[in-house]
């Protein structure tokens, strides 16, 4: 509901306005977005406006539709990769671990506030991992990061499943087993 109400104050996309032959309106919004007292000549706004117009002209020359996704090999490859990444992200088991982590920690023998604390640590590790990825992705490359991440997730989920399977069946309170399971979940 908040997003719906907030849409009233969201500006139109300058690019969309230019594409709809409403360039003056697009320019006005772009000027607002680039308002900078250090740029009285609006150089940045002019450059972006020019770039948008040229990009739209180029796109109109090479008109494409949904069929071109499947007719053009480069587009088709991108669709396959994006579908695979979406599937792989869901297949890693991260959502199951995220949604049931507190229950899993309780089943591993943690009590009191510790399951919630471990969930907080798990979330913090995820946020730090995203920050690390943001800072290193241009150096390592997306392919390496994706493959390393998927293989790492697979190994951790296998270890986590084995440890949960071992600990949940019995009432093992082995501290070493708990530590291995928690590390696997955190990774």
The total of structural domains in the chain comes to: 2
Q: Looking at 93-141, list the stretches that DSSP marks H as alpha helix, in order from N- to C-terminal side.
A: 94-107, 114-140
Look up residue 83 and give its two tokens: 């579908």
Q: What confidence tens digit (pLDDT) does each residue in 4-37 have?
A: 888 888 778 888 899 889 999 999 998 988 888 8
Same domain, 124 and 164: yes
Same domain, 85 and 165: yes
Measured distance CA(146)–CA(99) in Å, rounded:
23
Asked whether residue 130 is assigned to any structural domain, the reply reads yes
Same domain, 112 and 84: yes
Choice between 14 and 181, residue whose per-residue pLDDT is larger? 14
Same domain, 122 and 158: yes
* The pLDDT value given to residue 54: 92
For residue 40, the SS3 value is coil
Query: Do you know the residue count of the chain?
Result: 187
Measured distance CA(13)–CA(30) in Å, rounded:
9
pTM exceeding 0.85? no
Measured distance CA(57)–CA(149) in Å, rounded:
39
Q: Domain range for residue 21? A: 12-63
Look up residue 148 and give its two tokens: 């390393």
DSSP structure class, residue 72: S
Q: How far is CA 141 from CA 75, 86, 135, 155, 163, in A?
A: 20, 18, 11, 21, 33
Same domain, 18 and 51: yes
Same domain, 59 and 116: no
Measured distance CA(121)–CA(58) in Å, rounded:
48
Q: What confidence tens digit (pLDDT) does each residue in 98-136 have?
A: 888 888 888 778 889 999 998 999 899 889 989 999 999
Q: What confidence tens digit (pLDDT) does each residue in 44-90 have?
A: 889 999 999 999 888 888 767 788 788 888 888 999 999 998 888 88
Same domain, 121 and 150: yes
């Amino acid at each position: 509901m908040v997003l719906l109400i907030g849409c009233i104050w969201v500006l139109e996309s300058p690019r969309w306005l230019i594409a709809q032959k409403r360039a003056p309106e697009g320019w006005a919004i772009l000027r607002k977005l680039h308002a900078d007292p250090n740029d009285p000549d609006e150089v940045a706004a002019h450059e972006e406006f020019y770039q948008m117009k040229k990009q739209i002209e180029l796109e109109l020359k090479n008109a494409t539709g949904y069929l071109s996704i499947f007719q053009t090999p480069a587009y088709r490859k991108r669709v396959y990769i994006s579908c695979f990444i979406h599937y792989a992200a869901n297949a890693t088991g991260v959502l199951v671990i995220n949604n049931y982590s507190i229950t899993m920690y309780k089943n591993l023998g943690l009590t009191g506030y510790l399951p919630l604390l471990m969930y907080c640590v798990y979330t913090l590790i995820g946020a730090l991992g995203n920050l690390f990825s943001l800072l290193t992705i241009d150096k390592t490359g997306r392919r390496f990061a994706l493959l390393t991440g998927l293989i790492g997730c697979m190994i951790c989920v296998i270890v986590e499943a084995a440890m949960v399977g071992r600990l949940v069946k019995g009432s093992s309170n082995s501290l070493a087993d708990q530590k291995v399971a928690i590390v696997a979940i955190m990774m």
